[in-house]
Structure formats: structure tokens, C-alpha cells
């Protein structure tokens, strides 16, 4: 088995997929770092101060002003109200929600990319693990070996798990190093509040507690890893089912993008919460943001995603072992 | 060479895989086991901030916010531009105005810890309040019940008194400017009655601010008395850019420190 996995790893490295994805990430992270840098400069100029308390207070006031406008949807109003109470909580407890430094950037970046950017990167690797064997014709050579088919597929799946982990590590290292050049490398021990829950549209602070930022980031990456793995598994299934890599990627892309659009407008369509793409924003539960549909929680999203992934795995294996290859 | 690369990638992947699994486990553990460890409230006297430059805090309603001004600056923005031209000192403005805020809400706002800290640091405090208390989005005018207006005024007086005394207890040095109301309905019917009401209201504000040292009541009634339509935004209630500039000029003339 180890040899099979090793063999698959060699193929993956030869194809330079990991390298390409890493380079894409490096370029994007540089762009976001620059954008973030400009933004913080602008805020500083507008307020004439570097005091985070003043900045945070101003953010709260800005949101309150938006809330007092009449042309604002109920959904959005709820989201904003929760954000205000959370920021007020930070302010009242004298904790800076965005201690300047690279770790804070990493934290914000993983939160923003968990739904779309990261799954897309994973998809690039996962989508052609099996289907590329079809398109290059090597699948026949592979299957004529005296190894059972399920073992071959399992070795490919393990390779996927490994490359997901590898890419996420690259994602973390790159965003830390690149943003660190601009913002400085300190801030691992800055306190972060977690344990906010949203109940009936109100922020509940009963379970709130402080943890150091490095722990928070590790927890977020753990959840991001799970999300990436689920997305990878689904792409893997498509790669088994659909011979054309492009078609498989297209389907997955459509799902992921529809997820981001849907989560901003599904609150009245309750059964949409069983769709996997609505459940990708797992890090929001740590942060204490209102979920897109009432009643969603970390446990719920976790089970939904796990069920989707398990089903995808079963389908992949059944299909791969039964399929006629010609 | 290639083989080493593959080995390196594989081993790194395995270790990161274990790391992420651990992270995920920790996240779940932390999420489901959050025994309520309470987070300490911040001690009241914590923060030292640099006090260089001039610090202005603006409190109040949509006038402070700048509603109706095409450029969004409001009188506070124009005032700042003017001051920056006149003075070399570093200016810092904190605009805490919230649209639609009434005196009750402002009285609550000045009790917030961070707002109090801002007030403490301020050299000058600007307040616009009362417009929403009196006009209530035009409802008062529709009814025009003098008895009721009297009640609103008493309520307002109490709140403004509270606001000013709260500010003074935080900061005894800063100059406080309480900006008066104008009558946006001066062109409409019952102009005499509404103007009378606004004048009485302003008189009350002036009386209250007179009780506090270094508190100045700034009238704006006269600015909008003639040609009111030239200075009002299309909602016929908030000032437009020219209107805000008038207010800013008046306040700028009074500022000293």
C-alpha cells in the first residue's frame, strides 16, 4: 500500500500540480496583503490615530449608522446587530480583535478563504486524480497490474488526503511569511475571544472565553482542513464518475460558486441547509457569526459534510471497482 | 533528486495531516466543552493614550453624521478642513454621531466606557441633539399639540442635563458646544407656531448649558431663517452642503483652546 501511495505521490509531484497551486496562492496572498496594508493606512489617515480602541469605536458607530437607515434588509440587519454586540464586547473587555501582525492576517485570511478560495485550490488537485488516467490512457496499464482495484483507488484517495494537508500547510506558511514582511511577525499570543453563540438572532456571550491566537489559528486550520477534505472527496468522486477532467471541474466550480451566492439569500429556504456548499463556513462558528440559516451549528455542519463525504467515497469505490474500462 | 523531493513532500504532508487533525479535534473539544469561564471586564482606568495634537469629539444625531451633505462630511468635516488650514497642530476627530439618535440614546451612549475615554481625552466636544426629540420625523408637526411638545421638552431637558453633567464629570477642561436647532419647516404653514416652539426649545438648551462651565450654546436658528430652501437637502429636513458649511463656519468662529 505504501508503495502505491508513494507511486501516486511521484505522479503528483511530476505533474507539478502542487507547485502550480502553491504559486497561485503566493500571488493571491501578496495581493491581499497589499490590499490590507492600503486599507489600514486609509483608516489611520481618516481617524488620525493608531489607537485601536478609537478605530473599533468608530467601526461600531459606522455600523450603528447603517442600522438606522431604513433601506436595509432584515437579514443584513441581524448580521450587523450581532457584529455590533460582538465588537462592543471586545471593547468592553479591552481586547483588540485585530492585533496588528501576521498571525491576525492569517486568521482573517483563512476565515475569508474557507468557503471559496481554498476549496478551489484543492479542487485543482483533486479533480483529475482519476480522470487524468483516462485522458492519458494510462488507466489500462494501471489496472492490468496484479493489484485489486479498490487498493488502487484507496492509494489515490490517501494521496489526496496528503496533498490537502500539504497545501493547507503551504497556505499557512505562505500567508504568514508574506504578510509578516509587511505587518511584522509578532502576535501569536494575542488574546482572541471565542465561544460566542447566536440564539434567535441575539448574541449570547455566556460561553465566551479567551484563548491565545495561535490556538485559535490551529483550530481554524483544523476546520479548514476538514472542509477542504470534504470538497476534495467530492471532486474525487466526480473525477471517478466523469471521464473528462474539465467537466468534473466545471460541476464542482458551479457547486462552490452557487454556495457563496446561496448562503447570502437562503435564509427562507430552510432545507438548503442540507446542501454541502452552504455548510463550508465552519470557522464562523468559532467566531460567533450568525449562520446563513437559523438552526445551523458546528455539530450540524460537521455531520452534513461528513455524510456528503462518506456518500461520495462509497459511490467512488463502487463505481471504480465495477466500471468497465475500455 | 526527484525521489528526495517526493519523500520530502510526503513526509511533510503526513505531519501536517496529523497537525490539522489535532487542530480540528481541539476546535470541536473547545466548542462543545466551553465551560463558562467568564472573561474579566476591563478595569475602568487602563489606557494611556498620547495626548499630542488637538482632539475633537463630536456627539449627536444625523447632523453630526452629515446626512444630506453630498460629500458626506457634514458640519464636522467642513469644520475640520477649516481648522487644518488655520492651524499646524495635528487634529484628531472622533465622530460618534448616529443617525436618528435622540437625547435618551445619547445619554446612554455617553455612559459607555470607551465613549467616556474619548470624552476624557477631548479638547473640544461638539453636540447636536434634540432634532429627533422635537420633530420625531415630522410627526410632531402633523399633530401640533402644544401640550405634548411641552412634555417632550421636559424630557429633553432632563436628558441634556444628564449628558452635560456626565461629560463634565469626565472632563472638566474641554470646551463643550451644544449646537441649537433651526426650523426646517419655516416655509410651511403654521410657521409662526413652529418657530415659536423651536425658539423656546433653544432657549431651554441655552439655559441648561449656562449651568455648566465652559459649555457654549451655539444658535443656528438665524442661519436658516431666511431662504431656508437654499440650505436644505431634498428631504426638506437635513441641511445640504451649503447649510452644513454655514454651521461649520459658525462653530469655527467660536473654537479656542
**For A154-179, what is each residue's pLDDT tens digit?**
999 999 999 999 999 999 999 999 99
- Specify the higher pLDDT residue, B158 or A296: B158
Residue B34 has pLDDT above 60, yes or no: yes
Residues of B in contact with A223 (CB under 8 A): 23-24, 27
Average pLDDT of the residues in B202-210: 94
Domain residue spans of chain B: 1-39, 54-254
CB A2 within 8 Å of CB A152: no
Residue of B nearest to A7 (CA): B6
**How confident is the model at residue A326, as a pLDDT?**
67
A103 pLDDT above the threshold of 70: yes
Banded model confidence at residue B89, pLDDT cuts 50, 70, 90: confident
ipTM for the predicted complex comes to 0.87
Chain B segment 12-51 residues within 8 A of A by beta carbon are 12-14, 16-17, 19-28, 30-32, 34, 36-43, 46-47, 49
CB contact under 8 A, B26 and A220: no
Contact A223 B99 (CB under 8 A): no
Grid cell of A10 as nine digits: 511521484
Beta-carbon separation of B23 and A221 below 8 A: yes
Gap between the Cα atoms of B188 and B191, Å rounded: 6
Q: Which residues pair with B175 in a beta bridge?
A: B124
On whether any CB of chain B is under 8 Å from the CB of A56, the answer is yes
Give the chain A residue whose CA is nearest to the CA of B37: A209
Using one digit for the tens of pLDDT, what is the confidence trace for A268-317?
Answer: 788 888 999 889 988 888 888 888 887 788 999 999 999 999 999 999 99
Q: Which residues of B touch A64 (CB under 8 A)?
A: 98
What superfamily would CATH give domain B54-254?
Answer: SGNH hydrolase (3.40.50.1110)
What string of H, E and C letters represents the secondary structure of chain A?
CHHHHHHHHHHHHHCCHHHHHHHHHHHHHHHHHHHHHHHHHHHHHHHCCCCHHHHHHHHHHHHHHHHHCCCCCHHHHHHHHHHHHHHHHHHHCCCCCCCCCHHHHHHHHHHHHCCCHHHHHHHHHHCCCCHHHHHHCCHHHHHCCCCCHHHHHHHHHHHHHHHHHHHHHHHHHHHHHHHHHHHCCCCCCCEEEECCEEECCEEECCCCEEEEHHHHHHHHHHHHHHHHHHHHHHHHHHHHHCCCHHHHHHHHHHHHHHHHHHCCCCCCCHHHHHCHHHCCCCHHHHHCCCCCCCCCCHHHHHHHHHHHHHHHHHHHHHHHHHCCCC
User: Residue B153's pLDDT is what?
Assistant: 92
- Candidate from A163-177, A191-205, A214-228 with smallest mean pLDDT: A191-205
The overall average pLDDT reported for chain A is 88
Domain residue limits, chain A: 2-30+99-322
For the sheet containing B175-179, what is the strand order? B91-95, B54-60, B124-128, B175-179, B215-218
Q: Percent of chain A scored above 90 by pLDDT?
A: 39
Q: In chain A, what percentage of residues exceed pLDDT 70?
A: 99
Task: List pLDDT tens digits, range B105-125.
Answer: 999 999 988 899 899 989 999
Using CA atoms, how far residue B136 sits from A140, B102, B140, B178, B243, in Å, is 79, 9, 6, 20, 21
- pLDDT for A176: 95
Cβ neighbours of B5 in A, within 8 Å:
13
Per-window interface: B 125-154 vs A, CB < 8 A: none
Amino acid at each position: 500500500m505504501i508503495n502505491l501511495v508513494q507511486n501516486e505521490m511521484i505522479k503528483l509531484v511530476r505533474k507539478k500540480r502542487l507547485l502550480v497551486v502553491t504559486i497561485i496562492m503566493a500571488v493571491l496572498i501578496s495581493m491581499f496583503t497589499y490590499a490590507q496594508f492600503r486599507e489600514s493606512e486609509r483608516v489611520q489617515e481618516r481617524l488620525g490615530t493608531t489607537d485601536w480602541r478609537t478605530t473599533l469605536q468608530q467601526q461600531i458607530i459606522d455600523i450603528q449608522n447603517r442600522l438606522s437607515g431604513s433601506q436595509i434588509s432584515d437579514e443584513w440587519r441581524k448580521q450587523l446587530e450581532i457584529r455590533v454586540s460582538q465588537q462592543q464586547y471586545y471593547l468592553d473587555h479591552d481586547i483588540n480583535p485585530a492585533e496588528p501582525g501576521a498571525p491576525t492576517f492569517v486568521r482573517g485570511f483563512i476565515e475569508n478563504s474557507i468557503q471559496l478560495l481554498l476549496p478551489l485550490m484543492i479542487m485543482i488537485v483533486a479533480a483529475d486524480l482519476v480522470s487524468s488516467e483516462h485522458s492519458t490512457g494510462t488507466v489500462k496499464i494501471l489496472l492490468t497490474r496484479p493489484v485489486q482495484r479498490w487498493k488502487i483507488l484507496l492509494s489515490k484517495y490517501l494521496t489526496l488526503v496528503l496533498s490537502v494537508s500539504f497545501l493547507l500547510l503551504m497556505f499557512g506558511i505562505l500567508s504568514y511569511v508574506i504578510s509578516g514582511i509587511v505587518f511584522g511577525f509578532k502576535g501569536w499570543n494575542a488574546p482572541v475571544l471565542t465561544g460566542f453563540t447566536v440564539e434567535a438572532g441575539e448574541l449570547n456571550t455566556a460561553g465566551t472565553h479567551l484563548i491565545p491566537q495561535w490556538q485559535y489559528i490551529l483550530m481554524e486550520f483544523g476546520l479548514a482542513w476538514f472542509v477542504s477534505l470534504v470538497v476534495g472527496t467530492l471532486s474525487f468522486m466526480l473525477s471517478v464518475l466523469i471521464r473528462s477532467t474539465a467537466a468534473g471541474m466545471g460541476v464542482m466550480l458551479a457547486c462552490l460558486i452557487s454556495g457563496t451566492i446561496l448562503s447570502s439569500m437562503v435564509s427562507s429556504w430552510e432545507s438548503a441547509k442540507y446542501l454541502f456548499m452552504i455548510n463550508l463556513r465552519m470557522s464562523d462558528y468559532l467566531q460567533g457569526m450568525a449562520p446563513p440559516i437559523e438552526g445551523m451549528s458546528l455539530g450540524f455542519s460537521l455531520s452534513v459534510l461528513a455524510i456528503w463525504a462518506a456518500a461520495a467515497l462509497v459511490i467512488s469505490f463502487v463505481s471504480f471497482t465495477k466500471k468497465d474500462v475500455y | 533528486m526527484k525521489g528526495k523531493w517526493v519523500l520530502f513532500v510526503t513526509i511533510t504532508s503526513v505531519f501536517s495531516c496529523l497537525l490539522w487533525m489535532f487542530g480540528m479535534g481541539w476546535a470541536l473539544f473547545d466548542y462543545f466543552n466551553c465551560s463558562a469561564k467568564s472573561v474579566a471586564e476591563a478595569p475602568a482606568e487602563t489606557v494611556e493614550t498620547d495626548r499630542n495634537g488637538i482632539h475633537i469629539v463630536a456627539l449627536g444625531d444625523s447632523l453630526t453624521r452629515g446626512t444630506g451633505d453630498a460629500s458626506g462630511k457634514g458640519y464636522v468635516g467642513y469644520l475640520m478642513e477649516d481648522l487644518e488650514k488655520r492651524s499646524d497642530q495635528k487634529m484628531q476627530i472622533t465622530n460618534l454621531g448616529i443617525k436618528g439618535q435622540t437625547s435618551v440614546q445619547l445619554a446612554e451612549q455617553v455612559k459607555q466606557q470607551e465613549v467616556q475615554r474619548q470624552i476624557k481625552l477631548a479638547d473640544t466636544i461638539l453636540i447636536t441633539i434634540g432634532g429627533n426629540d422635537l420633530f420625531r420625523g415630522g410627526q410632531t408637526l402633523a399633530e401640533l399639540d402644544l401640550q405634548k411638545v411641552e412634555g417632550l421638552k421636559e424630557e429633553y431637558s432632563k436628558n441634556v442635563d444628564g449628558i452635560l453633567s456626565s461629560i463634565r464629570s469626565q472632563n472638566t477642561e474641554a470646551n463643550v458646544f451644544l449646537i441649537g436647532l433651526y426650523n426646517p419647516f419655516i416655509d410651511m404653514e403654521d410657521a409662526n407656531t413652529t418657530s415659536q416652539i423651536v425658539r423656546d426649545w433653544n432657549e431651554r438648551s441655552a439655559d441648561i448649558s449656562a449651568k455648566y462651565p465652559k459649555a457654549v450654546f451655539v444658535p443656528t436658528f438665524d442661519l436658516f431663517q431666511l431662504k431656508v430652501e437654499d440650505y436644505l437637502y431634498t428631504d426638506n429636513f437635513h441641511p445640504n452642503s451649503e447649510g452644513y458649511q454655514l454651521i461649520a463656519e459658525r462653530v469655527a468662529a467660536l473654537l479656542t483652546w
